[in-house]
Every structure is written in C-alpha cells, then in structure tokens.
C-alpha cells in the first residue's frame, strides 16, 4: 500500500512539474459588445521597446505584420504608409496617443482598427552552455471610429520547459521565441 501511495505521489509531482513548466497562458481582453466583423483593413503602429534589448520592438513589429498577413484575416496597410501617417505625431510615444489622434490616424490610413503594442521583456539568459530566451509582449487593437480598445492580449513566451531542463535541449533563438509569442498572441484574436 505504501508503494502505491509513493507511486501516486511521484506521478502527482511529475504532473505538476509538466503543467507548471508548460508556459503561461495569455491574458486577454475582448470587448463584449464590439462586432469584429466590421474590421476589414488594419494598420500596425510600430511597437514600443520597454525591454533593455535594442531592436526588440522592431523585430516584434516585423514578425507581427508578417504573421498577421499570414492569417489572411485583414487587409494590412504597408509599414511605410503607417510611418508616413505617424510623422505628424513623431514626438509622441504610441502609448500616449489620444483617442482623437488614433481616430485621425485611422481616417488618414483608411482603416477600421489599429494594432499597438510593446515588447516589455526580451532577454536571453545563460546557464552553463545553454541559453534561454524570454519575450513578453502586450498588444491591443483599437477601433478607429471612437478610438476604443476592443481587444488586448499579454503573453510571455520562452524559458526552459521541464524536458529542455532535464535533457539540455530546446534552445531557441530570440527571433524564434518572439515569433512564437506573436503567433500565440494573435491566436487569441484570430482562430
């Protein structure tokens, strides 16, 4: 009987390790009354970098645009057109744009919604011969009639899972971890 209890205890510990290391689920806000079918054309405002790694936001923005195009869910304004529309607001960080400014940008670009985001963490940690990359992104979708957020998601991707730690495998580059983070974030909006 004690062997059976110790066997069950070992299984319970293994199960908790496996689920505990599976990664965090995204935190999601979805406006309960908004009709997402209205959105046909969108623009991606360049993401902000709140991490210590230079280039993290531009990498995340490029990957986000690429993955968004791959979903074929929306027509996406070219990044150069977005940059041109933002020239008027060059001294303002994207997170500081007012509702009126977001509506104005939306009208100028002819879009129904704008994606805005930030890379809050982008780091690579070394432990012995293995390295681990971690990326945290916050992305939101703002409709351009009134400048209201209708969707928002926060997701962290990376770190070493149980099996990678146990066997020393699974080293992923920061680009690969960022791409996975983008995909999982978008999946909360687009199935």
Long-range contacts of 14-21 (CB under 8 A, 24+ apart): 17/162, 18/162, 20/162, 21/159, 21/160, 21/161, 21/162, 21/165
Angle, alpha carbons 146-154-165 (nearest 5°): 170
pLDDT at 17: 40
Q: What is the pLDDT of residues 33-89, one digit of tens each?
A: 999 999 999 999 999 999 998 999 999 999 999 999 999 999 999 999 999 999 988
Rounded average pLDDT over 174-189: 93
> Which alpha helices (DSSP H) does the chain contain, by range?
2-20, 56-71, 79-86, 99-109, 162-167, 174-187
pLDDT at 99: 94
The reply to whether 21 falls in a domain is no
The domain that contains 110 carries what CATH number?
Answer: 3.40.50.10610
Q: What is the pLDDT of residues 73-95, one digit of tens each?
A: 999 999 999 999 999 888 788 88
The reply to whether 156 falls in a domain is yes
Q: What is the pLDDT of residues 133-181, one digit of tens each?
A: 899 999 999 999 999 999 999 999 986 544 444 455 556 788 899 999 9
pLDDT at 165: 47
pLDDT at 5: 47
Provide the β-strand partners of residue 148: 143
Domains held by the chain: number = 1
How many CB atoms within 10 Å of residue 168? Answer: 13
Range of the structural domain that residue 57 is part of = 26-187
The reply to whether 68 falls in a domain is yes
pLDDT at 1: 52
84: helix, strand or coil: helix
The reply to whether 69 falls in a domain is yes
The reply to whether 98 falls in a domain is yes
The reply to whether 5 falls in a domain is no
185: helix, strand or coil: helix
- State the SS3 of 121-167: EEEEEEECCEEEEEEEEEEEEEECCCCEEEEEEEEEEECCCHHHHHH
In whole angstroms, how large is the CA radius of gyration of the chain?
Answer: 20
The reply to whether 7 falls in a domain is no
CB 24 within 8 A of CB 35: no
The reply to whether 144 falls in a domain is yes
């Amino acid at each position: 009987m004690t062997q059976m209890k110790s066997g069950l205890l070992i299984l319970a510990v293994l199960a908790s390790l496996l689920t505990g290391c599976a990664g965090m689920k995204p935190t999601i806000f979805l406006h309960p009354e908004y009709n997402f079918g209205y959105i046909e054309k969108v623009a991606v405002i360049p993401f902000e970098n709140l991490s210590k790694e230079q280039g993290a936001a531009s990498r995340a923005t490029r990957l986000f645009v690429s993955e968004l195009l791959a979903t074929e869910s929306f027509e996406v304004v070219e990044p150069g057109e977005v940059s041109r529309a933002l020239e008027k607001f060059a001294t303002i960080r994207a997170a500081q744009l007012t509702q009126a400014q977001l509506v104005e940008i939306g009208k100028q670009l002819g879009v129904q919604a704008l994606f805005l985001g930030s890379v809050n963490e982008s780091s690579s940690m070394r432990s012995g011969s293995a390295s681990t990359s971690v990326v945290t992104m916050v992305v939101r979708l703002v409709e351009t009639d009134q400048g209201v957020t209708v969707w928002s998601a926060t997701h962290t991707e990376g770190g070493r899972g149980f099996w990678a730690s146990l066997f020393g495998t699974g080293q992923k580059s920061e680009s690969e971890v960022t791409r996975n983070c983008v995909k999982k974030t978008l999946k909360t909006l687009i199935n």
